[in-house]
Structure 1
Amino acid sequence: MKSANLTDTRLSSPFSWRGDSFPPILDSETPNHLERIRELGIPTIFDIHTHFFPETIMKLIWRWFDNVNWAIGYRLPELERVKRLHHNGIKHFTTLNYAHKKEMASSLNDWTYANYQNWEGAIPFGTFYPEESVLAYVKKAVETYGFRGFKLHCEVSKLNLNDPELSDTFRYLEQKEIPILIHTGTAPLPGEFTGIQFFLPFMETYPKLNVIVAHMGAHEISAYASLLGRFPNLALDTTMVFVDFLATGKETEVDAAIPLLETYQNQIYFGSDFPNIPYHLNHPISKLLDLPISDLAKQKILYQNAKNRFFK
């Protein structure tokens, strides 16, 4: 798809944009954020929220985005997408995928294990789903495959975090100190089991579980952030929050969240949602660098917190 057509798609998106112009959708030859992160002493960016699916599934996901006029800037072959990450200074990134039905998660884990070593810098993440075999294949993913985390998507998977069929799996991951990155918020679209009303009892049941909330819990950022002091193993990622595409929050909500990055700088991770973003990677990185927060907070969010988590 040509850049002009992508611009047309963005114009007709049901999700609003900040300001009168769109950020570029294609990478520049030398992204200007590279010099800026070097000046901050950040050796590389760690992106906690990047997606890798088998090609057939990825194309179906892109078709869904096409139907809501959500432009995909990085509609590229898999290895070319990895090169784009490296080109933007992202040398470490996750392999997020998720299941939307039974008997799918285990095969996704097998696919990730078979392929992630081809993606230089990839941190292998698995997924799981409420089903009889869930604990067995999660143990396999951790103990045989060496996976470093898991991803759940409550909206797409219609997944209730409080489902008793998942309790043994959550207890296992709590004991192993394996993080779970969870899309539990109501943005960009709410689901049957999304929102703080499902998430809070989940955290109260597993208070020591290492959880990273995608999109900072938008559209309920303040509610999710209020839990950070209560649950020290809870964290948020910045995916698609501080950008000009407002699919994960209104301008007032996003602006109000900026001070949280300073206050909870040890519990915030940078995420992009690559490759499913309607702008190039320079945009979310530069927007974060432009925020009125300390250099130390930027260092921690863009690199150090994830480094401490995954390279102990």
Structure 2
Amino acid sequence: MEGEGSPLASNQKDTRISSPFSWRGDSFPPILDSETPDHLEKIRDLGIPYIFDIHTHFFPETVMKLIWRWFDNVNWAIGYRLPEAERVKRLHHNGIKRFTTLNYAHKAGMASSLNDWTYTNYKNWEGAIPFGTFYPEEGVLGYVKKAVEDYGFSGFKLHCEVSKLNLNRPELADTFSYLQEKQIPILIHTGTAPLPGEFTGIEFFKPFLETYPKLVVIVAHMGAHEISAYASLLDSYPNLALDTTMVFVDFLATGKAEDVDFAVSYLETYQDQIYFGSDFPNIPYNLNHPISRLLELQISDLAKQKILYRNAESRFFK
């Protein structure tokens, strides 16, 4: 499938060289899919029927193009710059048969319409698990209840850096309390990688979690660049989890190589509280890369099964 249907320019490799984020090693992983990704046989041997990707993005086309323009400005190559239906095919091609519909609002008046768009479209994406979003604004609890009770959404996504969102804002207290009561997961980009924000980092996240200790929270990127700080909370908060998005890959946007290598031990120790995530489609390599890298790590087969499939399956299909 290399090159099929993709508008990639011929200088993508040069673009990746000039990225402000460093790479591990001297060569880049392929940016597009092979005909038969080599991880498919490996996951079958592990008894994994398919991969559950907890961190995939779906936005209205106009918004997605604006996001891609931002990535272009920092020389962050995107191989899966493809029509929506083709992107879903690429997920399936890589054995990812269940995946989330993450999007987020960066200003007031945007979140409710994103939820409506997701509800209207997600059934066209075979395997999609609908996630909504919200923002600190008037009426937020009402449209969150609508997303849960009328739309049947399985979770929500927040992005503290892009949304300039302080999780401790009082306008969101009733919404977080409602989601805690309903045990609806929230996947939150709260870490400082790849770029810090005004309200990112453990200093904002820890008091938030102390306020809502039973809230089901999945921390994106394992909380990078503060992976150890976020992992230290896992013992005390059984409803807290981390996702592996862009952590164990050759693209070091989420930390230095030694920090990433150190984090491998958490995958074994907290194997029940870790989910696989890719950040598809906004990745500068093909989907085989993060999956194969995780499969190569020195952790048990059971941990790999749980991270790639079983934990998410248990959470969303009890």
The interval holding the TM-score normalised by the smaller chain is over 0.9
The Cα shift of 1:5 comes to: 1.7
Distance 1:254 1:15 in 2: 14
Q: Does the aligned pair in 2 maintain the 1:124–1:147 contact within 8 Å? A: yes
Distance 1:227 1:79 in 2: 39
Q: Does the aligned pair in 2 maintain the 1:92–1:122 contact within 8 Å? A: yes
Which runs of at least 4 in structure 1 moved beyond 3 Å after TM superposition?
1-4
Matched with 2:281 is 275
SS in 2 for 1:293: coil
Identity of aligned residues (%): 84
TM-score normalized by the length of structure 1: 0.99
Superposed CA deviations along residues 66-101 of structure 1, whole A, max 9, x for unmatched, are 000000110000000000000000000000000000
1:20 aligned partner, one-letter code:
D
SS in 2 for 1:4: coil
Of 31, 36, 44, the residue aligned with 2:37 is 31
The Cα shift of 1:242 comes to: 0.0
Q: Does 1:254 align with 2:260?
A: yes
Q: Does the aligned pair in 2 maintain the 1:47–1:94 contact within 8 Å? A: yes
Matched with 1:83 is 89
1:131 aligned partner, one-letter code:
E
Of 147, 153, 161, the residue aligned with 1:147 is 153
Q: Does the aligned pair in 2 maintain the 1:46–1:270 contact within 8 Å? A: yes
Q: Does 1:133 align with 2:139?
A: yes
TM-score normalized by the length of structure 2: 0.98
SS in 2 for 1:24: coil
The Cα shift of 1:2 comes to: 3.2
Structure 1's 30 and 3: CA in aligned 2 closer, same or farther, altered over 3 A? farther
Structure 1: state its 5+ residue gaps: none
Q: Does the aligned pair in 2 maintain the 1:3–1:25 contact within 8 Å? A: no
Matched with 1:120 is 126
The Cα shift of 1:3 comes to: 5.8
Tell me how large the CA RMSD over aligned residues is. Answer: 0.5
Superposed CA deviations along residues 200-257 of structure 1, whole A, max 9, x for unmatched, are 0000000000000000000000000000001000000000000000001110110000
Q: Does 1:210 align with 2:216?
A: yes
Q: Does the aligned pair in 2 maintain the 1:3–1:26 contact within 8 Å? A: no
Residues 1-312 of structure 1 correspond to what in structure 2 (within 5 A)?
A: 1-2=7-8, 4-312=10-318
Distance 2:98 2:272 in 1: 18
1:15 aligned partner, one-letter code:
F
1:51 aligned partner, one-letter code:
H
Aligned residue pair count: 312
SS in 1 for 2:156: strand
Matched with 2:3 is none
Structure 1's 167 and 51: CA in aligned 2 closer, same or farther, altered over 3 A? same
